Structure 1
Amino acid sequence: MTESLPAVSRTAVGVAALRAYESSRPDRLFDDPYAAAFFEAGRSALPDLDRGSKQAGLGALMYPQVVIRTRFFDDYLLGAGCAQVVLLAAGLDARAFRLAWPPGTRLFELDLPDVLAFKDDVLAARGATPACERIVVRADLREDWATALREAGFDPAVPTAWLAEGLLIYLTYEEASRLLTTVGELSAPGSRVSFEHRPGDAPDSLVSRARATEDGEHVTALWRGGLRDTAPEWLAAHGWEPSTVTRAELATAYGRPSDGDATAGGFVTAVR
């Protein structure tokens, strides 16, 4: 099945492996009961990936980032208080199935058709049942995805919690700006948006270390930088009230080691 996945989406299989490893820990920060199934179904695309070792090189480097961002975004979505949720480039995360959503929540998952087909095949094989109203929207985020979202039943008059997890770094500044401009146009007052924030690209930053990892070129070659270090300023200039948190702060709050996290960046959340 993975042969049909575009290169940028195959990285989601590696992320699923890291989520599966975290879910197996007694001190896990979250429980994703479907991550291992995604990894097993997709491992033909990553024959050298070993879930037990968290993947040598790039996987080991990215493991703390993936784990902390998963927990942070879980908490963000459940705490947003929005009855409408949109996951941009939803990938292989199973939040619609694994989180305790309030009654009446409508969750839209946007991603490429092949990604969503792969995802739904794995979930169907596991007999997975969503914990909210889940609406799948097959769309390319570089094209007119807003029309597809509206046609699927999205209501721009309802406050929405938007999530762009692991997405913007794969876009150019112009593509990221265009995507978030559309998000703003679709956001009623009270809406929220969140994504990773990398305040710099110093030689010891997470991005720089990832680019220097010998086995990571198949992933890092796809990175385009997104908004880079301008995310809070960009959001403030486009009608949002942003706030940021570092990965080091979250690691401490979650009881995880924070060594090196000062250069790992963090996350931005903004309210409309």
Structure 2
Amino acid sequence: MSVRSDDDSWDITESVGATAIGVAAMRAAETRRPDALFRDPYAARLVEAAGSGWSHIMRAQVVATSAGADPAGEGGHAYSSLAAMLIARTVYFDEYFAAASAAGIRQVVILASGLDARAYRLEWPSGTVVFEIDQPKVLEFKNSVLADEQPAVDRRAIGVDLRQDWPKELWDNGFDPTAPTAWLAEGLLRYLPGEAQDRLFGDIAALSAPGSRIALNIGRGRSEDSPALQAMRERRKRLLAEAGITLNLEELWYPWEGRTDPRDWFTAHGWAVTVGDPVAVLSDHGREQPEAARAELNRHILMTATRGDENR
């Protein structure tokens, strides 16, 4: 059951904002692996600056990895299948942006950007503009921590709640609705009620010129209660508690039941949908997953959609 309200807000250490620290901690741990699938040199700095128990988790994860454990596998120290999904989606979305750039797209919008550092860590073609939208306090924190860093792109941070009139704020900051856009909704949709999700999709479609594309992920329903998954969750809960973290993701989520499947929404509105497979993303990069992790990964939707010349 969600503890959320339709007008709640947060900073980086509260509620939904705190989840961004956890995600950054896992990116930092992956970055320090000798066989890392991506590099985010800013993640550890952002986690440490937050001053939360996540820095303890991050360091413990690195120790486990250096000892030979796979943080996304059964021998991982804290995250197991959760880390596997976060790693898979990071790789998938990084590759999505590379493909969008290769296709000539020079306008990017990252929705609920949190501690995402792609504006700093990815290679962007000249002339690209990256808009980041999130709660004002979340962006203020990131801007402060990375104040001495130079983005690799024209980065424009917009502090506005996605349940408010964010399209106007986007326009006011130089968004060009006549240019194709690469949108990203990473780790966002379950934090929105179903009707707010559909309004968001409608706003995105209205702002998207032909050739625009979107990438997103969402977890379906609840985890299966297999013994292996129960053990993973209990281990995670214990380690988080030892670090002083009492965050319960499922209390922050809105239900899957009753919401539109994003694949169906974009297909019905004339976008060409391509579905990703998180297990395949990892295996294609040499990260085979144990059976319990595969079952959990298969609950998650990874997808991209592209708008053609016509849409409905």
Q: How far did residue 116 of structure 1 move?
A: 0.3
**Where does residue 128 of structure 1 map in the other structure?**
149
- Checking the alignment, whether the CA contact within 8 Å between 2:214 and 2:306 is kept in structure 1 is yes
Q: Distance in 2 between matches of 1:140 and 1:211?
A: 33
User: Does 2:123 correspond to 1:100?
Assistant: yes
Q: Kindly tell me: are residues 210 and 144 of structure 1, through their superposed partners in 2, closer, same or farther at Cα, counting changes over 3 Å?
A: farther
Secondary structure of the 2:52 match is helix
Q: Distance in 2 between matches of 1:69 and 1:115?
A: 21
- Alignment equivalent of 2:294, drawn from 256, 261, 269: 261
Secondary structure of the 1:63 match is helix
Deviation digits for residues 80-106 of structure 1 (CA, Å, limit 9, x no counterpart): 131000000011011000000011101
**Where does residue 230 of structure 1 map in the other structure?**
261
Q: Distance in 2 between matches of 1:244 and 1:210?
A: 30
Q: Kindly tell me: are residues 171 and 184 of structure 1, through their superposed partners in 2, closer, same or farther at Cα, counting changes over 3 Å?
A: same
- Checking the alignment, whether the CA contact within 8 Å between 1:244 and 1:268 is kept in structure 2 is yes
Q: How far did residue 10 of structure 1 move?
A: 1.0
Q: How far did residue 209 of structure 1 move?
A: 6.2
**Where does residue 19 of structure 2 map in the other structure?**
11
- Checking the alignment, whether the CA contact within 8 Å between 1:111 and 1:140 is kept in structure 2 is yes
Q: Kindly tell me: are residues 18 and 190 of structure 1, through their superposed partners in 2, closer, same or farther at Cα, counting changes over 3 Å?
A: same
Q: How far did residue 44 of structure 1 move?
A: 2.4
User: Does 2:29 correspond to 1:21?
Assistant: yes
- Alignment equivalent of 2:176, drawn from 138, 151, 155: 155
Q: How far did residue 66 of structure 1 move?
A: 1.0
Structure 1 length-normalised TM: 0.89
**Where does residue 3 of structure 2 map in the other structure?**
none
Deviation digits for residues 127-158 of structure 1 (CA, Å, limit 9, x no counterpart): 21111111111110011111001100001110
- Checking the alignment, whether the CA contact within 8 Å between 1:108 and 1:135 is kept in structure 2 is yes
Q: Please, which moves more after superposition, 162-171 or 225-234?
A: 225-234
Secondary structure of the 2:131 match is strand
**Where does residue 93 of structure 2 map in the other structure?**
73
Q: Kindly tell me: are residues 229 and 33 of structure 1, through their superposed partners in 2, closer, same or farther at Cα, counting changes over 3 Å?
A: same
Secondary structure of the 1:68 match is helix
Q: Distance in 2 between matches of 1:130 and 1:231?
A: 31
Unaligned runs of 5+ in 1: none
User: Does 2:141 correspond to 1:118?
Assistant: yes
Q: Distance in 1 between matches of 2:232 and 2:160?
A: 29
Deviation digits for residues 142-192 of structure 1 (CA, Å, limit 9, x no counterpart): 111110011000011100000000000111211111111100010000000
User: Does 2:277 correspond to 1:246?
Assistant: yes
- Checking the alignment, whether the CA contact within 8 Å between 2:276 and 2:303 is kept in structure 1 is yes
User: Does 2:51 correspond to 1:51?
Assistant: no
Q: Kindly tell me: are residues 230 and 177 of structure 1, through their superposed partners in 2, closer, same or farther at Cα, counting changes over 3 Å?
A: same
Secondary structure of the 1:163 match is strand
Q: Distance in 2 between matches of 1:176 and 1:149?
A: 18
Higher Rg of the two aligned structures: 2
Q: Please, which moves more after superposition, 20-29 or 48-57?
A: 48-57
Q: How far did residue 258 of structure 1 move?
A: 2.5
Q: Kindly tell me: are residues 175 and 70 of structure 1, through their superposed partners in 2, closer, same or farther at Cα, counting changes over 3 Å?
A: same
User: Does 2:251 correspond to 1:221?
Assistant: yes
- Checking the alignment, whether the CA contact within 8 Å between 1:43 and 1:49 is kept in structure 2 is no
- Checking the alignment, whether the CA contact within 8 Å between 1:197 and 1:228 is kept in structure 2 is no
Q: Please, which moves more after superposition, 68-77 or 58-67?
A: 58-67
Q: Please, which moves more after superposition, 58-67 or 174-183?
A: 58-67
- Checking the alignment, whether the CA contact within 8 Å between 1:200 and 1:228 is kept in structure 2 is no
User: What's the Cα RMSD here?
Assistant: 2.7
Structure 2 length-normalised TM: 0.78
Q: How far did residue 7 of structure 1 move?
A: 1.2
Q: How far did residue 240 of structure 1 move?
A: 1.2
Paired residues in the alignment total 267
Q: Greater RCO between the two (CA within 8 Å, min separation 6)?
A: 2
Q: Distance in 1 between matches of 2:230 and 2:188?
A: 19
User: Does 2:217 correspond to 1:182?
Assistant: no
- Matched AA of 2:248: H
- Checking the alignment, whether the CA contact within 8 Å between 2:41 and 2:121 is kept in structure 1 is yes
Secondary structure of the 1:59 match is coil
Unaligned runs of 5+ in 2: 1-9, 63-70, 238-245, 308-312
